Amino acid sequence: MRQGLLVILSGPSGVGKGVLRRKLMKDKELNLAFSVSMTTRPKRPKEQNGKDYFFVTKEEFGRKLKEDGFIEWVEYCDNYYGTPKSFVEENIKAGRNVLLEIDVDGAERVMKKYRGMYTLAIFLMPPSMEELERRIRLRGSESEDEINNRIQKSKEEMEKRSQYDVSLTNYTVNKTALRFKQCVQNRIRYCEQVEKGEKTDPTYIIKRP
Amino acid sequence: MRQGLLVILSGPSGVGKGVLRRKLMKDKELNLAFSVSMTTRPKRPKEQNGKDYFFVTKEEFGRKLKEDGFIEWVEYCDNYYGTPKSFVEENIKAGRNVLLEIDVDGAERVMKKYRGMYTLAIFLMPPSMEELERRIRLRGSESEDEINNRIQKSKEEMEKRSQYDVSLTNYTVNKTALRFKQCVQNRIRYCEQVEKGEKTDPTYIIKRP
């Protein structure tokens, strides 16, 4: 059975990763499993355990850390956030494509570990920095200085897009979802061709008895 | 006039970077200028502005960010931390060696920007993970789970030591300071030889009229 892809969706904060992800998850043809992160921070009222995050204690997080159970993890404000390895690897093995929605720093760490044709890294770009600024402001949760610093961070993150397989400009979620789907399907086709020996991929090593 | 070195001192939390740095700064022969970071977090009672950190508002930080004034910066717990570029570059130009004491993530970002023979990156290692654990516990400020997670993080950071020019095991601060000094002096000698044309360095390009 063909293994699934690890599909990394990243891009600056405010670019619309969450909206796109929810749209993509509804498309059954993409056969996507969403990688749910684990965190030690308290659950917020609207959040669901197992859907938004797996909410665990620091002790549980620590146990998983010790057994090398995360693809990547980070400490932020005395809380821990991680991407559980087992979910990703089991689903990929079972032929499902795993969608990882992750910030640019986290994506960089994942890409270092998961290379090759079964990983597809997609960078989501705002139509313009003005548009990104508008979207960040729409959230309305931050001070003017914080917004400016966030925009500056986004600019630096934008410079990392060349590390990705594809950059998509997020004009509208519908168009972006369509192009996203094409990218996934193209990559699946490519993997199939390599597996059949119709193409060669430098990272693909046939494992046969 | 020969330019100074950028000397990066990094390693896991609790390894003794601060103690070593204070020791090194007292050695006048090393001609070190300590790079003071800028932060938006509130000053703690014992801290001195301009010595421990430059304490600034988010607005001031943002202005500096906009003018590309940091070598590297990071947001943590709604506060910003950065390494001002002007201090480092002015001191290096004036022939002083700039000492940057920085965590492993930050060091990684700096090393991407400052390559070549004028940058010396030194990774400080604990004598053993048991010893590191003991040192982290001595601080006594964290819960058991947090200590375990910190140790796990340190293990992952230890794997990055191959990115550095030198790894030093911190048995005692006096011995480490001595070896640190030798590393700096060796590198200075090497730079001088390259500048005189006695050696060639792939990253050194002679700029002459």
pLDDT at B203 (0 to 100) = 79
Mean pLDDT of chain A: 92
Query: In the sheet where B97-101 sits, what is the strand order?
Result: B32-34, B97-101, B6-10, B119-125, B166-169
Q: Looking at the predicted structure, is the pLDDT value of residue B141 above 80?
A: no
| Chain B residues within 8 A of A148 when measuring between CB atoms | 62, 65-66
Question: Tens of pLDDT along A138-148?
Answer: 876 678 888 88
Model pTM score: 0.82
Q: Which of B119, B85, B108 is nearest to B6 (CA)?
A: B119
Nearest-Cα distance to chain B for A191, in Å, is: 32
CB contact under 8 A, B61 and A145: yes
Amino acid at site A38: M
Q: Say if residue A107 is exposed, middle or buried (CB neighbours under 10 Å; 0-12, 13-18, 19+).
A: buried
Q: Do B76 and A77 touch (CB under 8 A)?
A: yes
For strands A166-169 and A37-39, give the pairing: unpaired
- How close does chain A come to B29, measured CA to CA in Å? 38
Pick among 3.40.1350.10, 3.40.50.300, 3.40.190.290, 1.10.150.120: CATH of A6-35+96-196: 3.40.50.300
Nearest by Cα to B82 from B106, B59, B47, B104: B106
In this prediction, residue A207 has a pLDDT band, given cuts at 50, 70 and 90, of low
Average the pLDDT over A79-96 and give the result.
Answer: 95
Residue the block writes with tokens 């405010």:
A14
Question: Is A148 or A35 the better-scoring residue by pLDDT?
Answer: A35
Average pLDDT over residues B112-120: 93
Best residue in B145, B150, B160 for a mutation probing chain A (most A CBs within 10 Å): B145
Q: Please compute, for residue A101, the number of CA atoms within 13 A of its CA located in the half-sphere on the CB side.
A: 19
Alpha-carbon distance of B82 to B64, in angstroms, equals 10
Contact residues on chain A for B80, CB-CB shorter than 8 A? 149
Residue A113 CA to residue A119 CA, distance in Å, equals: 10
pLDDT for position A108: 94
**Residue B38 phi, psi (nearest 5):** -110, 140
Contact A127, A171 (CB under 8 A): yes
pLDDT at residue B122 is higher than 60:
yes
| Residue bearing the bigger pLDDT, A174 or B134 | A174
Distance, CA of A165 to CA of A153 (rounded, Å): 21
Residue A79 touches chain B, beta carbons under 8 Å = no
Task: Name the amino acid, one letter, at B178.
Answer: L
pLDDT surpasses 60 at A208: no
The reported pLDDT for the residue numbered A78 is 87
The pLDDT-based confidence of A1 (bands split at 50, 70, 90) is: confident
Q: What is the mean pLDDT of residues B32-61?
A: 94
**Which residue in chain B has the smallest CA separation from A109?**
B105
Size of interface A-B (CB pairs under 8 A): 50
pLDDT digits (tens, 9 = 90+) for A174-189: 999 999 999 999 999 9
The residue ranges of every structural domain in chain A are 6-35+96-196
Among B59, B149, B152, beta carbon nearest to A145: B59
- The two three-digit tokens of residue B140, written as one number: 């006594």
Quote the pLDDT of residue B209.
46
Task: Identify residue B22 by its one-letter amino acid code.
Answer: R
B77 touches chain A (CB under 8 A): yes
For the segment B64-109, what is each residue's pLDDT rounded down to a tens digit? 999 999 999 999 888 999 999 999 999 999 999 999 999 999 999 9
Output the CA–CA distances (angstroms, integers) from residue A54 to A2, A20, A32, A198, A206, in the order listed: 28, 21, 19, 42, 36
Please name the member of A76, A78, A143 whose beta carbon is closest to the beta carbon of B58.
A143
A59 at interface of B, judged by CB pairs closer than 8 A: yes
Q: What is the mean pLDDT of residues B31-39?
A: 96
